[in-house]
């Protein structure tokens, strides 16, 4: 086992805490984000497999639908307007009459149609009229009476009663049965056919999509739903996020009231209100989990309570290297959590830790814990960087046929823009920094100028004050120790006012997500073999496995990576995703009983087995890790793809046996290409 793996599997080893022997590898921010998103995506897919996502929706009235994520596609049930409608107050006539009339000819006013009161004829003869030179009085929004096709605004014609009496109130005159007429001065009134008429369906056609699944509902959508007679909407249930502060130094309400808080060294709890407000800001439902002291008992009690009632628990404090930093130990040893990442190459927020907890309580759902450092700025910056994308993935939702990769790639992350620095900024020697800035639009240069919020120490909350963006600064090198004023850099927008005008970026297109990422460091070779990677219940992250596969097998390009939990999904991949893939590598980490099941299943899918290659790989795996002998290695072909199922333990040993010419030739043979000459 390599060092990374042994650290990952041995969380209890986290007692000797020195930075040279840290239990977790320090990974770049984009990789940590991807890893967290993968975990969340896999868990949502599992819920779909268990047919549980129904519990994740609810119906709300339009009044409560603002900013919720729609769980259904809604099409307009009716057209708008439903029937031809007048746009003006005036008189409707037939356009043909207008054409044949002489200037000054009179049109008899035979009735009226006002908004909400469909056409009424004075003679009570039904609505349709076929006599020429007739008109009806109409108001804005009134149904255009049958037989009429154009409207003349009231200010363009003169109405008079036939009796000669003058009555300024046209409607009253018509309603009281007085005969009246209008005359049109054609020199002044140029009427076009269907003028001032809103044709049925001209604003909106029945069947048009008003709301897509996963779309965030804003005021305009609420208006459209209301306009088409829809009073409620199915939305995704809000994610419930519990927020817990930890630390013996925190002043709480009880010791504040009893006066026992008044000791040197006690501090007010800034993180809980800060993170709770961010959770609300990100559209989730927040639960206040209070404070825990730095003891195993207190942490276990508060964390279990939080995990029972919440989907995600966000903690602050207690994840650094001190003796009282116990959160991870409690989550792993007492609550059976698995650390997904535990250290990030960033400033501020290095110790940020993410854990998954399977099957917590009675539900077969995965719970997530984001453990943030105690320093308030770190806690806030990391809430923006990690919690926001996680919640946006859950809001986006997943579909049964999607792969984990597709879901992650399609997840909205922060809107990002280029900014110009207003100040010289010193770079950190060790880590890339997320520098807090305020933004101001520079009209002359047509770009935002970023001004530092000042001292960036992770305890100094004033650096968050007024911050609208995080500028992504690289770490210092020997050649470059500072960024100079005027340089252009990438900034992530964290303020709501900006989020409303700049669309969030999706992972796939995000430049931030490409920064420093392992996934981008693909080998560029002339004829790379296309590799598909399938991870089944592996302890290592996809990124670790990609790195291993790429470092051992030359000339490969990873085409896709998928984490599967169910055989059904694996079978779907074997059927649908092998096309165009030269080699599919399935990495699993199951005991030999499970593994046998997996091996039998894969075996049954193969068109042809290659026992000789399998034997080689098995020996390679076992020579690196004795445990690998407990796993079956299966190699064979499905159509034109070489499929290798290998154990996670000893993976590198297995791959070494086929690296270089062996795997290349095996792929060629699988594809029926001539056996390559030396
Ligand atoms: P820790 O991550 O627990 O080592 O804490 C790092 C720093 O953050 C210490 O100075 C703590 O006192 C401070 N801190 C921890 N929790 C909070 C909190 N809820 N509010 C404000 N400061 C905190
Ligand atoms: Mg602490």
Q: Which atom of ligand 1 is nearest to the CA of 272?
A: 19
Taking CA atoms, 30 is separated from 349, 379, 472, 514, in Å, by 14, 17, 12, 7
Q: Any idea which of 490-504, 505-519, 599-613 has the lowest mean pLDDT? A: 505-519
Q: How far is the CA of 285 from the centre of ligand 1 (A)?
A: 24
Q: Is the distance from the beta carbon of residue 376 to the nearest atom of ligand 1 less than 6 Å? A: yes
Q: Which atom of ligand 1 is nearest to the CA of 294?
A: 3
Q: Is the distance from the beta carbon of residue 247 to the nearest atom of ligand 1 less than 6 Å? A: yes
* Residue 239 pLDDT: 95
The pLDDT confidence band at residue 678, using thresholds 50, 70 and 90, is: very low
Q: Which atom of ligand 1 is nearest to the CA of 249?
A: 12
The pLDDT confidence band at residue 526, using thresholds 50, 70 and 90, is: very low
Is the Cα torsion angle 33, 38, 41, 47 positive or negative in sign? negative
Q: Any idea which of 211-215, 427-431, 516-520 has the lowest mean pLDDT? A: 516-520
469-473 and 488-493 as β-strands: parallel, antiparallel, unpaired? antiparallel
Q: Are 678 and 661 in contact (CB under 8 A)?
A: no
* Residue 364 pLDDT: 64
**Residue 9 backbone phi and psi in degrees, to 5:** -80, -10
Instruction: Indicate whether 400 pLDDT > 80.
Output: yes
The token pair at 235 is 């939305």
What mean pLDDT is predicted for residues 153-173?
A: 83
CA–CA separation, 206 and 129 (whole Å): 29
Q: Is the distance from the beta carbon of residue 249 to the nearest atom of ligand 1 less than 6 Å? A: yes
Q: Is the distance from the beta carbon of residue 320 to the nearest atom of ligand 1 less than 6 Å? A: yes
DSSP bridge partners of 70: 235
The pLDDT confidence band at residue 193, using thresholds 50, 70 and 90, is: very high
Instruction: Indicate whether 54 pLDDT > 80.
Output: no
Q: How far is the CA of 269 from the centre of ligand 1 (A)?
A: 8
Best mean pLDDT range from 30-44, 118-132, 353-367: 30-44
Q: Which atom of ligand 1 is nearest to the CA of 316?
A: 16
What mean pLDDT is predicted for residues 516-531?
A: 55
3-state SS, one letter per residue, for 404-468: HHHHHHCCECCCEEEEEECCCEECCCCCCEEEEEEEEEECCCCEEEEEECCCCCCCCHHHCCCCC
Q: Is the distance from the beta carbon of residue 316 to the nearest atom of ligand 1 less than 6 Å? A: yes
* Structure confidence by residue, pLDDT tens digits, 33-51: 999 999 999 999 888 877 6
Q: Are 142 and 121 in contact (CB under 8 A)?
A: no
Q: Any idea which of 226-240, 292-306, 357-371 has the lowest mean pLDDT? A: 357-371
At a CB cut-off of 8 Å and minimum separation 6, what does 106 contact? Answer: 133, 181, 182, 183
Q: How far is the CA of 298 from the centre of ligand 2 (A)?
A: 13
- Secondary structure of the chain: what % helix, strand, coil (to 5)? 30, 25, 40
Long-range contacts, stretch 477-486, CB < 8 angstroms, 24+ apart:
480/427, 481/426, 481/427, 482/424, 482/425, 482/426, 482/427, 483/421, 483/424, 483/425, 483/427, 484/421, 484/424, 485/421, 485/422, 485/423, 485/424, 486/420, 486/421
Q: How far is the CA of 379 from the centre of ligand 1 (A)?
A: 9
Q: Are 530 and 524 in contact (CB under 8 A)?
A: no
Instruction: Indicate whether 5 pLDDT > 50.
Output: no
Report the interhelical angle of 567-576 vs 592-605 (nearest 10°).
Answer: 30
* Residue 59 pLDDT: 96
Q: Is the distance from the beta carbon of residue 23 to the nearest atom of ligand 1 less than 6 Å? A: no
634-638 and 608-609 as β-strands: parallel, antiparallel, unpaired? antiparallel
Q: How far is the CA of 25 from the centre of ligand 2 (A)?
A: 22
- Closest C-alpha residue for ligand 1 atom 6: 374
The ligand with the least distance to the CA atom of 248 is 2
678: three-class secondary structure by DSSP: coil
CA 378 to centroid of chain Cα atoms: 23
* Structure confidence by residue, pLDDT tens digits, 72-89: 999 999 999 999 999 999
Q: How far is the CA of 34 from the centre of ligand 1 (A)?
A: 27
Neighbours of 263 (CB within 10 A): 10
Q: Is the distance from the beta carbon of residue 348 to the nearest atom of ligand 1 less than 6 Å? A: no
The ligand with the least distance to the CA atom of 320 is 1
The token pair at 166 is 């003058």
Helix (H) or strand (E) holding 78: none
């Amino acid at each position: 086992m390599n060092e990374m793996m042994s650290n990952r599997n041995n969380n209890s080893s986290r007692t000797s805490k020195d930075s040279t022997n840290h239990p977790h590898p320090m990974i770049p921010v984009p990789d940590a984000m991807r890893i967290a998103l993968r975990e969340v995506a896999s868990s949502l897919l599992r819920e779909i497999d268990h047919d549980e996502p129904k519990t994740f929706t609810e119906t709300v009235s339009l009044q409560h639908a603002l900013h919720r994520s729609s769980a259904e596609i809604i099409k307009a049930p009716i057209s708008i307007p439903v029937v031809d409608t007048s746009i003006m107050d005036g008189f409707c006539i037939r356009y043909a009459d207008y054409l044949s009339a002489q200037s000054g000819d009179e049109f008899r006013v035979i009735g009226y149609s006002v908004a909400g009161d469909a056409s009424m004829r004075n003679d009570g003869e039904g609505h349709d009229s076929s006599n020429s030179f007739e008109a009806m009085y109409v108001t804005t929004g009134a149904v255009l009476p049958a037989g009429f096709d154009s409207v003349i605004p009231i200010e363009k014609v003169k109405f008079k009663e036939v009796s000669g009496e003058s009555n300024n109130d046209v409607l009253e005159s018509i309603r009281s049965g007085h005969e009246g007429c209008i005359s049109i001065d054609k020199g002044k009134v140029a009427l076009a056919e269907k003028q001032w008429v809103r044709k049925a369906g001209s604003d909106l056609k029945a069947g048009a999509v008003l709301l897509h699944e996963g779309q965030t509902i804003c005021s305009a959508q609420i208006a459209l739903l209301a306009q088409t007679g829809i009073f409620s909407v199915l939305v995704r249930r809000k994610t419930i996020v519990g927020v817990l502060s930890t630390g013996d130094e925190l002043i709480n309400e009880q010791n504040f009231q009893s006066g026992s808080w008044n000791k040197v060294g006690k501090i007010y709890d800034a993180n809980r209100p800060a993170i709770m407000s961010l959770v609300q800001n990100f559209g989730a439902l927040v639960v206040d989990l209070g404070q825990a002291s730095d003891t195993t008992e207190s942490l276990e009690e508060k964390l279990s309570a939080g995990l029972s009632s919440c989907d995600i628990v966000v903690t602050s404090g207690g994840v650094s290297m001190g003796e009282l930093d116990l959160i991870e130990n409690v989550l792993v040893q007492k609550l059976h959590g698995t650390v997904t990442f535990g250290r990030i190459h960033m400033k501020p927020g290095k110790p940020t830790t993410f854990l998954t907890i399977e099957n917590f309580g009675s539900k077969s759902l995965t719970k997530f814990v984001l453990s943030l450092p105690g320093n308030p700025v770190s806690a806030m910056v990391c809430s923006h960087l990690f919690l926001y994308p996680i919640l946006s993935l859950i809001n986006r939702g997943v579909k049964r046929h999607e792969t984990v990769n597709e879901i992650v790639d399609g997840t909205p992350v922060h809107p990002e823009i280029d900014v110009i620095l207003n100040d010289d900024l010193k770079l950190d020697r060790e880590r890339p920094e997320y520098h807090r800035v305020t933004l101001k639009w520079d009209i002359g240069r047509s770009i935002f100028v970023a001004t530092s919020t000042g001292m960036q120490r992770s305890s100094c909350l004033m650096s968050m004050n007024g911050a609208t963006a995080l500028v992504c600064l690289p770490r210092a090198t020997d050649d470059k120790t500072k960024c100079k004023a005027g340089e252009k850099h990438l900034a992530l927008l964290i303020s709501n006012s900006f989020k409303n005008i700049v669309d969030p970026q999706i992972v796939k297109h995000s430049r931030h997500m490409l920064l420093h990422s392992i996934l981008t460091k693909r080998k560029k070779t002339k004829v790379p073999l296309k590799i598909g990677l399938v991870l089944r219940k592996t302890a290592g992250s996809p990124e670790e496995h990609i790195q291993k596969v790429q470092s051992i097998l030359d000339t490969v390009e990873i085409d896709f990576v998928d984490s599967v939990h169910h055989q059904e999904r694996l079978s779907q991949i074997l059927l649908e995703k092998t096309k165009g893939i030269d080699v599919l590598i399935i990495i699993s980490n199951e005991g030999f009983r499970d593994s046998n099941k997996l091996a039998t299943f894969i075996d049954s899918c193969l068109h042809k087995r290659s026992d000789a290659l399998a034997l080689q790989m098995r020996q390679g795996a076992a020579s690196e890790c004795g445990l690998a002998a407990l796993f079956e290695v299966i190699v064979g072909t499905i159509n034109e793809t070489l499929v290798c199922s290998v154990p996670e333990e000893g993976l590198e040993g297995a791959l070494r046996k086929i690296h270089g010419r062996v795997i290349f030739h095996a792929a060629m043979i699988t594809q029926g290409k001539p056996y390559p000459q030396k």
